[in-house]
Structure 1
Amino acid sequence: MAPVVQPSHPQLAVSAAIFRDGKVLLVRRARSPAKGFYSLPGGRVEFGESLHQALTREVDEETGLAIEIVGLAGWREVLPSSGVAGHYLIMSFAARWTAGEPVLNEELDDFRWLAPDALGGLGELKLTGGLDDLIQSAKRLIGP
């Protein structure tokens, strides 16, 4: 098997904090990067694709859900380290669930709808860095 060649420049990605009935969707990554960690659904932006187009496509591909994008909740930069080979800039959006039930693709192996305020007390779940702050920011955009 040939080694994976990493790009020589940062990769742009998107993610969605999807809210339904007061809960947010977390998904567990089934492969690298972030294998075994719970995070938000999302992925890389393709050339010529807007951020919103990429987010809608990635959420559909990974979960089968339809969403309404509310706004930009924040961003996170992931630099190359011992656990991650690539360099990513992830734009994270707040979104509302509009249709469908989660049907995960091969990139994910679990999902949970969780109360946003309970994330800090979920020590048994491995969460990606900065996830709680992004979800709280997204929750403010979604409103009551």
Structure 2
Amino acid sequence: MVRRAPKKEYDRFRRYFAFPCVDLVIFDGQSVLLTKRTRNPYRGYWHLPGSIIHRGEKITDVVRRSAKEELGLTVRKMQYIGVYESMDKFRHDVAHGFLISVGSGKISLDSQSSEFRFFKRLPSKIIPHHRKVVNDACKLAVCRHKK
């Protein structure tokens, strides 16, 4: 079980430090899975599932935890895509992108997302660096995903 920081400490931390994160890319044929965020940053935007890396967690364990907690899925295989940076007024993230294939499970969302959808063409209202993560994952997966 991952211990989460109290809101007051989280808000203080985000004013001074970057957050290490993972972003998960899941393709179904030529479509990519995105979920709609219910919280900041980027409330109401489509985004890749993922999570902040907590103290004491290995990055590959965070990939598995994120898939399980946010989507109800297990990870069969993961491939590192690269590192991406997002700096906005809310928070500074340093995200590690992973292309994953699903082992088992049926998608069930947690409270961070209101809906999910597989997109053949990325929506305009997507977190900016997630567009780059998806396009880079496409090169690894040799897909014809439309930007």
**TM-score normalized by structure 1?**
0.82
Rounded to whole Å, the distance in 1 between the matches of 2:23 and 2:88 is 19
Q: Which amino acid aligns with 1:135?
A: V
Residue of structure 2 equivalent to 1:113: 118
1:98-126 per-position Cα deviation (integer Å, ceiling 9, x unaligned):
222210001110100122xx22xx34xx1
* Structure 1 counterpart of 2:3: none
Q: 1:11 pairs with 2, 10, 19, which one?
A: 19
CA–CA separation in structure 1 for the residues paired with 2:67 and 2:108: 10
Q: Which runs of 5+ in 1 are unaligned?
A: none
Q: How many percent identity over aligned positions?
A: 24
Matches within 5 A, 1:1-144: 5-7=11-13, 8-81=16-89, 84=90, 86-115=91-120, 118-119=121-122, 122-123=123-124, 126-143=125-142
Structure-2 change in CA distance of 1:23 and 1:68 (3 Å): farther
- Distance in 1 between residues matched to 2:27 and 2:37, nearest whole Å: 19
Q: Which runs of 5+ in 2 are unaligned?
A: 1-6
**For 1:12-46, what per-residue CA distance to the aligned partner results, in whole angstroms no more than 9, with x for missing partners?**
11010012233211011101111111110001111
2:12 counterpart SS class? coil
Quote the offset at 1:91 in angstroms.
0.8
